[in-house]
Amino acid sequence: MSFPSLKLLHLPLFKGIPEDVTDHERAYRSYQRAAAVVKAYGMTAADILQCTPRFWEFYLDLIGAFDCATYTLVTIQMNLAAGTLAPFAEKQPQYRKLLDQILNFEISAQYMLTEVEHGLDANNLETTATMLPTGEFDLHTPSLGGAKIMPPSLPVKGLPKVAIVFAQLIVSGETRGVRPFITWLNDGKHMCNGVTAKLLPRRAASKPVNHAITNFNHVRLPHSALLGTLDKPKDVRKHFLSSIWRIGVGTLALPLNMISVMKRAVFVAGKYSQRRHISGPDQKLKPIISFPTQYGPILHALAQIFVFEAYARRSIQYFQDTNLAPPVRHAMGTMSKAVLYKTSQACLFTLSERCGAQGLYENNHIIESMVETRGISIAEGDTLVLSIRLTSDLLLNHYKIPPAKDPTSFLAKHEQGLLDELRGMTNIKSGGHHGEDFDRLILPRSQEFVEAIGYRIAYEAAIEAGVHSDLVSLYEIWVMLQDQSWFVQYAGLTRQHMFQMEAERLSVVLPRLDVLLDATGAEPYCTAPILSQTSWEQFVDSLETKTGSDTENTGLSRGGMAML
C-alpha cells in the first residue's frame, strides 16, 4: 500500500537532522513536517467529522513511525482540535475560517483538557471560565494543580497557536459543567496576555515536541470563544463525555501507529540479521538469521503485523457501525489499544535485543520507537483504566461484545474461560463488584481479559481478510504461549506440545522471510545504518574521527608503567 507521505520522503525537510541542531530547531522541523503531511492528505471537515477512510489512512501511514513527533502534532491538530471545532463550524459560519486555518496547518492547534492533578478525572478539572456582565469570559487557572499539562503551547518561529481549552463554565456564581473554549496562546513570537507556558524537559530519548505546563491568569475571552451553550446540562457527566468525544476516536486511532512502528522495526532487524554473520564451530560463517532464537521473534512480529492490519480495519468497521451501541464502539478502541500497545512494546524490546549493541542506538530505529511510543499507553485514556472500566461493564452485563464466530477455536475458548473465571470471582459477599475483593482479584486481571478479547477478534479478522493461513496459525500459537497455564489446565495441551507447534509453524513461514519483509512497505521509511554493508560503511565514514600521528604508543606505555 502506498501512502500519501511517500512522496514527501525525498524532500530535504524529511532528511536526517545533524546532531548539533538544538531541540528548538528540531521541534520546529517537526511542525514543518506536520504541515507538509497535513497538506499531502488534504483532509476536509467532512473527513474529520465522518472519520472517512482517508482519516483512518493517516493513522496507518508509516510516516508516524518515521517521525513520532510529527505524528503527535498532526494527531492533536486534526483529530482533537479540528475534530472538536468541526461540529460547531458546520452550523456556525463564524468558526469556519479558523477551522480552515487549522485544516491547512496555517496555525498550530492544541487541545487542553488534562491538568497537572486531573488526568483521568478530567471532569473535575479546576480551570474556570467565568462569564462577566459584558458577556465575555474570564479564563483562569486557580492553582498549580489546575495548570494544563503536555500540550506544546510555547511560540514556534512565527507559527501562531490556538487551543481548545476545557474549563468549568461559571455563570452567575453557578458551575454549569465543563465546556471547550477557543483560546489564542501566542502569535508565533510572543505569548498572549495572561497566558504563561513553562517548557517541560524532553521526554526520554524522544524527538522534542516542546511539551509544556500552561497557566491562564484571568485571560479575557470573547463570548464567541465558548463552543456550545450557557445552559446547564441535565446530565453533566453525559454532556462532558459528548464534549470530549474526539478522545474516543483517538483511543482507537492513536495506537494504530504501533503497526507502522512494528513494520519499521522488524524490517531493520530482519535485514540486519541476514547481513550479520558469525563463525560456527566449523569456522564457517553463517548468518545469525539461521538461528531459531533470531528468526523466531522476527517471524512472530511479521505474523502479528499482518494479522493486526486486518484487526485494525475490523476495529474501524465496528467503530463506524452506528448500529452498535456507543459503549460497544468505544470498547473496540479500548481492546485495540490494549492489544497493539502491549504486543508492540514487547516486540520492540525483543527485536532491539536481537540486534545486540546495534539495537541500543536510536539511529537504528528500534529502541527509539520503543521509547517514543511509550506515551501511547497513556494518551487518549490510560490503557489499564480503560480496561478496568470495560471489564467491569462486561461483568455487570451493561452491554455485550460481538460474540466469537467460531466458539470452538482456541482463542475463543480462552476468552470465554477468562470471563468465566472473573465472573466466578464476582460472587463475593463482602462488597460484591464494588468491594475490596473485587479490587484485589478483578482489577489486576482486567487488562489481560481485554487483551484476550482483542486477540480473538484479531484472529477472526485475519481469517476473513484472507491473511495467509500460515501467518494466522503462527499468530495463534504466539497468543497461546502468552498464557500457557490456561491452555494446559483447560485445553488439554502440554507445554511441550505448544512449543512443538510453535517450532513447526515458524519453520513453515521462514522460507518467505524476504517476501514478508518487503511486503511491510517499510523500506522507504528506514534509514538505519545497519540495513546494508554500504549504508554501514557510509555511516562509519561520517563519524567524528581522531587519529594518532605524533604520540608513540611505546613511550606512552613506559610513562604509564612508571607512574604505576
**pLDDT tens per residue, range 218-260:** 999 999 999 999 999 999 989 999 999 999 999 999 999 999 9
Checking if the pLDDT of 19 tops 80, the result is: no
Cα distances (angstroms) measured from residue 263 to each of 32, 80, 205: 25, 26, 20
The predicted structure's pLDDT at residue 561? 46
Radius of gyration of the chain (CA): 26
Checking if the pLDDT of 171 tops 90, the result is: yes
Checking if the pLDDT of 560 tops 60, the result is: no
**pLDDT tens per residue, range 311-350:** 999 999 999 999 999 999 999 999 999 999 999 999 999 9
Checking if the pLDDT of 433 tops 70, the result is: no
Give the confidence band of 413 by pLDDT, cuts at 50, 70, 90: very high
Checking if the pLDDT of 139 tops 70, the result is: yes
Give the confidence band of 394 by pLDDT, cuts at 50, 70, 90: very high
Domains and CATH numbers, the chain: 6-251 (2.40.110.10), 255-523 (1.20.140.10)
User: What is the arithmetic mean of pLDDT over 45-56?
Assistant: 96
| Cell of residue 442, nine digits | 478483578
Question: Highest mean pLDDT range out of 194-208, 293-307, 415-429?
Answer: 293-307
The predicted structure's pLDDT at residue 99? 97
Cα distances (angstroms) measured from residue 560 to each of 550, 551, 554: 17, 13, 10
Give the confidence band of 1 by pLDDT, cuts at 50, 70, 90: low
User: What is the arithmetic mean of pLDDT over 43-62?
Assistant: 96
Give the confidence band of 375 by pLDDT, cuts at 50, 70, 90: confident
Contact 251, 193 (CB under 8 A): no
Residues with Cβ within 8 Å of 2's Cβ and at least 6 positions away in sequence, in order, are 521
CA dihedral sign of residues 77, 24, 165, 341: positive
Checking if the pLDDT of 136 tops 90, the result is: yes
Nearest to 146 by CA among 195, 213, 198, 246: 213
User: What is the arithmetic mean of pLDDT over 197-218?
Assistant: 89
The predicted structure's pLDDT at residue 482? 96
**pLDDT tens per residue, range 476-510:** 999 999 999 999 999 999 999 999 999 999 999 99
Over the range 117-136, which residues count as b (16 or more CB within 10 Å of their CB) and which as e? ebbeeebebbbbbbbeeeeb
Percent of the chain past pLDDT 70, that is, above it, reads 95
**pLDDT tens per residue, range 79-112:** 999 999 999 999 999 999 999 999 999 999 999 9
Give the confidence band of 559 by pLDDT, cuts at 50, 70, 90: low
Checking if the pLDDT of 461 tops 60, the result is: yes
Q: What is the mean pLDDT of the chain?
A: 92
Give the confidence band of 558 by pLDDT, cuts at 50, 70, 90: low
The predicted structure's pLDDT at residue 491? 95
Q: Which contiguous run of DSSP H or E holds residue 171?
A: strand 161-171
Residues with Cβ within 8 Å of 410's Cβ and at least 6 positions away in sequence, in order, are 476, 480, 487, 491
Q: Please tell me whether residue 169 adopts helix, strand or coil conformation.
A: strand
User: What is the arithmetic mean of pLDDT over 461-470?
Assistant: 98
User: What is the arithmetic mean of pLDDT over 49-58?
Assistant: 96
Checking if the pLDDT of 55 tops 80, the result is: yes
Nearest to 256 by CA among 329, 379, 330, 341: 341
The predicted structure's pLDDT at residue 554? 65
The predicted structure's pLDDT at residue 434? 63
Give the confidence band of 430 by pLDDT, cuts at 50, 70, 90: very low
Give the confidence band of 382 by pLDDT, cuts at 50, 70, 90: confident
User: What is the arithmetic mean of pLDDT over 265-281?
Assistant: 92
Checking if the pLDDT of 282 tops 70, the result is: yes
Give the confidence band of 209 by pLDDT, cuts at 50, 70, 90: confident
Contact 216, 183 (CB under 8 A): yes
| Cell of residue 431, nine digits | 462488597
User: What is the arithmetic mean of pLDDT over 174-189?
Assistant: 96
